[in-house]
Structure 1
Amino acid sequence: MLISVQALRALAAWAVVCHHFMQIFFDFHASGPIGQFFVSRGAVGVDIFFVISGLVIFLSTQNTDMPASRFMLNRIIRIVPAYWFYTAIMGLLLVFAAPLLPHQVISWQNFLLSLLFIPSENPGGYGLYPTLNVGWTLNYEMLFYLLFSTVFLFQQRHRPLIVAAALFAVSEVLARSGLISRFYGNDIVYEFLLGIVIGIIYRKGWIKEGVWLPLLGIATGLVTIYHLTPAERLLNWGLPSALIVLSCISLEPCFRGNKLLKILGDCSYSVYLLHVLVLYAGWLAAEHFALNPYLVFAVCVPVIGLGAWGSYEWLEKGLYRRMKGWLDKRRSADTAQVLS
């Protein structure tokens, strides 16, 4: 994994953390320019995530042929356990502390559909959000994985076009015709394709290392995001996010070998899943004891960081290795039985 991409993944996760801090503690009402930036632009971390996801999935499956079921199983054991764990905690929090959390309601139907990555109306009345609200992005991720799993039926040179056609069919035909949830009609789904395009460019060796030109690219992406709203998500935030990812890859020599940035990137998924729970706990403490919100946030940050590191080491990586090892042994045993 490119360390520059890991660093950007970590930065994107923490931008979302700051965005939700402004939501939970201030209901998106900010007074200063920094707070206003995270209110209106902090959600762009999701767009960067999607571009990176497309890039990583493309690069990790190059020169690889596997059954579609095997690809999906690998993604499921990587993504699902941690998501289910934090969804269960959020469910328990809503059951026992619902009167204390504004606009947060739980229902068994929404909870079960959340676990299955099926979009449904949140009982709180604010849209198609799962029990663990940040899980809405994982509904798109799982769709992308499902569609990407079909590419292993085709020659490698055709795979990007197959994914593009599949995403177009889902978003522009099925979703807009009402055959599936309107949730999938959002043009944000095409940001995965931007990551695949970057992966193709990277594989061809067209991304040149540098400093000043990549920094200019990052600055251009940030300025564009700052001045444009996400009304046209793909154009206004998706393309600038792709430019930022591309520019960061060009800066890889500046990041190479940095173990801290690698760890921060590794922990970013757990940061994304865990942070809302910690922020809600901090908000409850701030409300009860009349604490300064920024002081509480200063405590929440290391709690999120350390909690995410532990979550990655024991829940994500540890469980993934055990489950993958078990599956590999099972497959080897089945192969040996067939050959015998």
Structure 2
Amino acid sequence: MTERNHIIDLLRFFAAAWVAIFHFNETIPYINNWYRFFFKLGYLGVPIFFVISGYCVYMASNQAKNAKHFIVRRILRIFPPYWFSIIIVGIVIICSIVTNGANSIAILPKSGKDILATITLLTTPFSSVPIINWVYWTLTFELFFYLLIFIGLLIPYHYRVFWFISISISSLLFPIHEHWPFFFIGHWPSFCFGIVTYRLLHCKDQLWLNILLLTINVFALMNIIFLPYYSQTCVVTCLLIIISHYIPLKQNFASKLGDYSYSIYLLHVPVAVYMLGSVKQIKYVQTHLWANLLWDFLLLGLITILSRWMYFNIELPSIILGKKLTNGIRKNTL
């Protein structure tokens, strides 16, 4: 079992907080100061998450007994908290209808097909069904990354790297597609940076293939991603993981908050933007740095407290259930 890397936990919380405060300020006019400038770059929390996911999910796939073992745990890792967050969005929408007489929050699914797509994370960018929470589009990328890793597990270990190389070549050669079947290509290099980082540290028997995989994705990232600092963020995230592998960070309060990062990610839009966003419409909050900063961090504190509850009551039980089910699968196959 690979020892826990606490810099990853710290990065997960930092990325979740960065994205959250970015979204807190998306609905108000931009003011040129150091605070708004830094959090205007909060979208860079997404590549941090993708790189970390590449690293951690690939590690989990190596530790899984088989492909079924892997996918069951991943599904139970991502979906129960996601479904709970949908309920939260629904409650906020009901509150909006009761208080304002209309749904001013999100475009709701209008058909059984749209509802099914929402429940199964097959919304935008996989399909034209709109998302009801600003962050859900990234979970669709995450889901399809799980699928590609699942397929990789069906390939013998020594040939598995060629599966990742083939996807990476596709991301290098083909243009970005916004919808099925190639929507995933644009962000594959950031996930694969995480895979390569893990392989360079722990799978040294295929060093030259790992270097080839890294090289392809460096060019793919440069070729595809057009957002400022996206590529640099992927590289810095990988370097921090590598450094902490050799110089481990001790567990601390900040790194412990990483456990709550997924819940923070899911809850911050419905609670802080949809429900409490009216505070940001106050002119004084918008124009005074200290007031804006104070409100944002009060919101972040509230979301973190709620996320702690969600982690222990929704997320962790579903993770434990996944472990129990896969242990049952293992026993039945012995």
Indicate the residue corresponding to 2:239 in structure 1.
247
Q: Mark the CA change 1:330 to 1:69 in structure 2 (over 3 Å): closer, same or farther.
A: closer
Q: Mark the CA change 1:74 to 1:20 in structure 2 (over 3 Å): closer, same or farther.
A: same
* Alignment deviations for residues 10-53 of structure 1 (CA, whole Å, 9 cap, x no partner): 111111011101113x15x23323203322x1100001110111
Q: Mark the CA change 1:237 to 1:93 in structure 2 (over 3 Å): closer, same or farther.
A: same
Aligned match of 2:6 in 3, 6, 12?
A: 3
Q: CA deviation at 1:62?
A: 2.6
**Which one has more relative contact order, counting CA pairs under 8 Å at least 6 apart?**
2
Normalised to the residue count of structure 1, the TM-score between the two structures is 0.75
Indicate the residue corresponding to 2:301 in structure 1.
302
Indicate the residue corresponding to 1:233 in structure 2.
225
Contact preservation (8 Å) 1:278, 1:303: no
Indicate the residue corresponding to 2:214 in structure 1.
none
Q: CA deviation at 1:76?
A: 0.4
In the alignment, is residue 36 of structure 1 matched against residue 37 of structure 2? Answer: yes
Q: For the residues of structure 2 that align with 1:327 and 1:15, how far apart are their CA atoms?
A: 34
Indicate the residue corresponding to 1:220 in structure 2.
none
Contact preservation (8 Å) 1:91, 1:131: no
Identity of aligned residues (%): 23
Q: Mark the CA change 1:57 to 1:182 in structure 2 (over 3 Å): closer, same or farther.
A: closer
Normalised to the residue count of structure 2, the TM-score between the two structures is 0.77
Within 5 Å, give how 1:179-258 maps onto structure 2.
180=180, 183-185=183-185, 187-203=186-202, 232-233=224-225, 237-249=229-241, 250-251=243-244, 256-258=249-251
In the alignment, is residue 91 of structure 1 matched against residue 90 of structure 2? Answer: yes
Aligned match of 1:262 in 255, 261, 273?
A: 255
Within 5 Å, give how 1:1-340 maps onto structure 2.
1-24=4-27, 26=28, 29-39=30-40, 41-62=41-62, 64-66=64-66, 68-97=67-96, 104-109=106-111, 110-120=114-124, 129-166=130-167, 176=177, 180=180, 183-185=183-185, 187-203=186-202, 232-233=224-225, 237-249=229-241, 250-251=243-244, 256-280=249-273, 281-284=275-278, 293-329=292-328, 332=331, 334-335=332-333
Q: Tell me whether 142-151 or 259-268 shows the greater mean CA deviation.
A: 259-268
Q: For the residues of structure 2 that align with 1:329 and 1:92, how far apart are their CA atoms?
A: 36
Q: Mark the CA change 1:274 to 1:103 in structure 2 (over 3 Å): closer, same or farther.
A: closer
Q: For the residues of structure 2 that align with 1:75 and 1:172, how far apart are their CA atoms?
A: 30
Q: For the residues of structure 2 that align with 1:164 and 1:310, how far apart are their CA atoms?
A: 40
Q: Mark the CA change 1:182 to 1:146 in structure 2 (over 3 Å): closer, same or farther.
A: closer
* Alignment deviations for residues 226-253 of structure 1 (CA, whole Å, 9 cap, x no partner): xxxx995278544312321232120457
- How many pairs does the alignment contain? 302
**What's the RMSD between the two structures over aligned residues?**
3.5
Indicate the residue corresponding to 1:213 in structure 2.
none
Gap runs ≥5 in structure 1: 206-229
Contact preservation (8 Å) 1:15, 1:42: yes
Amino acid corresponding to residue 236 of structure 2 in structure 1: I
Q: For the residues of structure 2 that align with 1:129 and 1:299, how far apart are their CA atoms?
A: 30
Q: For the residues of structure 2 that align with 1:305 and 1:144, how far apart are their CA atoms?
A: 27
- DSSP 3-state at the match of 1:133: coil
Q: CA deviation at 1:134?
A: 0.6
Q: CA deviation at 1:140?
A: 0.3
Q: CA deviation at 1:278?
A: 2.2
Q: Tell me whether 135-144 or 168-177 shows the greater mean CA deviation.
A: 168-177
* Alignment deviations for residues 96-117 of structure 1 (CA, whole Å, 9 cap, x no partner): 4155775632224444312211
Contact preservation (8 Å) 2:73, 2:326: no
- DSSP 3-state at the match of 1:192: helix
- DSSP 3-state at the match of 2:62: coil
Q: CA deviation at 1:283?
A: 1.5
Q: Tell me whether 195-204 or 245-254 shows the greater mean CA deviation.
A: 245-254
Q: For the residues of structure 2 that align with 1:142 and 1:30, how far apart are their CA atoms?
A: 36
Q: CA deviation at 1:172?
A: 6.9
Amino acid corresponding to residue 158 of structure 2 in structure 1: R
